[in-house]
Structure 1
Amino acid sequence: RGEQFFFVNNRFIKSPYLNHSVNTAFEGLIDLKYNPSYFLFMDVNPKSIDINIHPTKTEIKFDDEHSIYAILRSAVKHSLGQFNIAPILDFSHDKNMELPYSYRNKKVVEGVGIDINENYNPFQTTNTKSSENIYLDLDKNSQFNQDQINSIEEDSRVNTLDFKDDNNFDSNSVYQLNKKYLINKIKSGIVIINQNRAHQRILYEKFLKFITVDGSTPQKLVNPLKMNLSIQEVNLLFNYKKLLKSSGFLFKKISNNDLNFEAIPTFLDPNKVESYIEDLLNNIKDEIPDKNFSKSDLTAKLMSKSLAIKNGKKLLIDEQEYIVNSLFACKEPNVSPFNKKIYHTITFDELEKKFL
């Protein structure tokens, strides 16, 4: 874990919290057991930091550490993308046009000559025999008789498949497979996307932005939902109340075991509020908090996991296109918030090799 240095206003500091921000920016690029090396310099208003929380003064406290976490992570991600360290999905580059490395030093093949029949007359008419009589003039010694020929001809008609012209294929079309995967055609091949993980990534970045930067405008419920919960569940939700409010969830306590939900994020279905809350509670209970883990980041992860479209759900065309377009507009479309691979690309070259 050497060669990891933070400098704030030219003062060396240690910050497990900010170190986690840098590590999350490298998710999907390096193995989890490795740590990136870095020298990071930050200029911060001295009035917004407290340097007296540690005897050696190497640890400091920021007034708004959540915003600094988000800004630092975004800056590192931007740098990785700017210098082409992070992989990107190129929809315009056609790998089929690339020259294989083994052919680069070979001589150019001369063009194939074309023989032209100068005596050809396009207006000369000939008597073309119909397909029904074409076999009548075959040599009598042929090894096929007429019945065999008719049988072969019939079989060929039965086994012929009607393939549509590939030129009519809409390259922007999205297709759902097995109610779990979305398949999108690109110039170099196809992309296969896990719909649940993709939606988790979309929601995670949206919630994290709500919590750390913008805040969400909630939609008020026409009929507020009253939920009867255990005291432990009520306490769990109140521990996250401020962050949930930033995300669009508004609720208040009406008794020790009862909560009244008055508003939810605008993009959620008001008819499914109870199932959303139940999933969220289950995920909070299952999550093991890390002392170096941002609570806002954890909240965004938990909500994205709870509210994401589940595998097994049939999606409308508009929903499929929304998932694909929104995913590749994300800062980190490669992996889910839980570091799981979201999509896999299969090139036409790879498909060709499968049939060699």
Structure 2
Amino acid sequence: MSDIIRLLPDHVANQIAAGEVVQRPASVVKELLENAIDADAREISLIVKDSGKTLIQVIDDGKGMSTMDARMAFERHATSKIQSADELFNLSTKGFRGEALASVAAVSHVTIKTKRPEDDLGTTISIEGSKVIAQEPAVAPVGTTVSVRNLFYNVPARRKFLKSDNVELRNVTNEFHRVALAHPKIHFKFSHNGSDLFNLPAGTYRQRIVNVMGHKVDDKLVEIKEETELLNIHGYIGKPEYARKTKGLQYFFVNDRFIKHSYLHHAVSSAFEGLLSQGSNPSYFLFLDVPPDSVDINIHPTKTEVKFEDEHSLYAIIRASVKHALGQFTINTIDFQKDTELDVPYEVSRSAIKSPRIEVDPDFNPFNDTGSSRKVHQHIQKPAGSWESLYAGLDDTSVLHDETVTSPRNSTSLFNDDVEQTGSSIFQLQRKFIISTLQSGLLVINQHRAHERVLYEQLLRQLTVQNGVSQQLLFPVKINRSPDEVDIVKQLQSQLESVGFLFGIIENNVIEIQGLPLDLKEPQVEPLLDVVIKSEQEQVPQQQDAQLQRMAAQLAGQMAIKTGEQLRVEQMQQVIDELFACEEPALSPAGKKVFITITGDTLSSKFDH
């Protein structure tokens, strides 16, 4: 029997390796930017076309490469960063595997032009699918320019699974942010299809965060700085009141390398315990400096997952540092000149607010001594001999026990405070359920889910026929978000306008809203946009119908009547009427039960025991 195990050809091995290192255009951007940083560049430009599918070009002014180095850089496991296995545990550079450029060249057309300061001429090399097509001397500035064209041209299956241009550009932008935030002393530029997206001059960490995320972020940052034997931590955390539903502004950097670490993220989140509402996420830009030999960054090809030698101690330090920074911020914001006598007492502020009730006796007639009013007046009518007689008898306790006038505290009723009495066959229970009588029994409706179903079907029709009605705002609302989140809103602009939104400026870091759907209140706008953005960031590719249904469900969930909201009889009746005019009244958009019926037989069975 002949041998069946053979060595793979180099170009096949490179394509397999590329599957680990090069997953999408953003992967190429990350590797090329990190190589430019390792070359001690002071200015780096990223040029992208068609979200990286057509062109990814990185230009740096670093130290360049010799002719031999430029050729060797595209060989597998060729690197200038390490010489022995021991150095894997004491790394201070970015690219050290020696696989990135070889993997990129295996699935694209690559051209590199490079020159060292001491050389008169530079070198140009062209590679297609791991094969060197040309190599020749060239006039070039000091530094290196790498151009990657037609990514995955020879692996159509990989290219087919790339997402839309908007999604891929978002991933490229995220990688650019991660690298740029970690190196504020380097001047970064980024352009896409000829348009300049970012121009980030060298500066401090705070300046870089503000330039990337927008100027309004500056007022929301609290500085954090701690130095210990195990860890030096510096950076910024977001003020609790600016926490959002999305997780976009959460960045961990270890030795100037972006990482993802759920355990350390929990340390930050736990420090915010009690300061954030449910579902809100803290924002942070934290830079950790640890000894290189205490962290292993070689456990994953993307190098975003790392392993620390003493994670438990780092957890405690990070949590304590964030708590300390929050404590300092809280102390600095206390108003010691405030008149505490004007504060609402705690027990009052925590109690439920009840609307005052006005009770009117329809039979009362001040000119008639008969009827119900006479029973009250007979206790207080005295001979009008003096003005004191007008008040005589008011201390008579019999008034309080009269069969007509009773004290609210001592009165009993079939309804307690959880039941809103309306004098109608419809009433509200616990400000959560709408109860209505039927011939066969009772109808119990979940008010939030019912209104959610009504709005869902209305919004879905508006998204389909583009006929949403808007309410114009007297003063436009301006919301500050990161550029990639603003880009998501810009992509969804036509769909949001079809349900009633009116937009002004949508660019850079600002979303200006000039009009809202009729059922949407102004305080709901920002949380609603956060939900839409988060869903779009986490979505998988869907057909148009499914995408519209998802958006309608998100909008309806935010706009619907909430549990705890008191309704008038007319409002409850309207919800009932509109619910049973829906195509699917029994289920909410999430598939949950909207109402139940309780028959008379069911009630009778409760009294059989």
Q: Normalised by the size of structure 2, how large is the TM-score? A: 0.29
**Higher relative contact order structure (alpha carbons within 8 Å, sequence separation ≥ 6):** 1
Considering only CA atoms, is the larger Rg found in Structure 1 or Structure 2?
Answer: 2
Q: Normalised by the size of structure 1, how large is the TM-score? A: 0.48
Of Structure 1 and Structure 2, the greater strand share is in 2
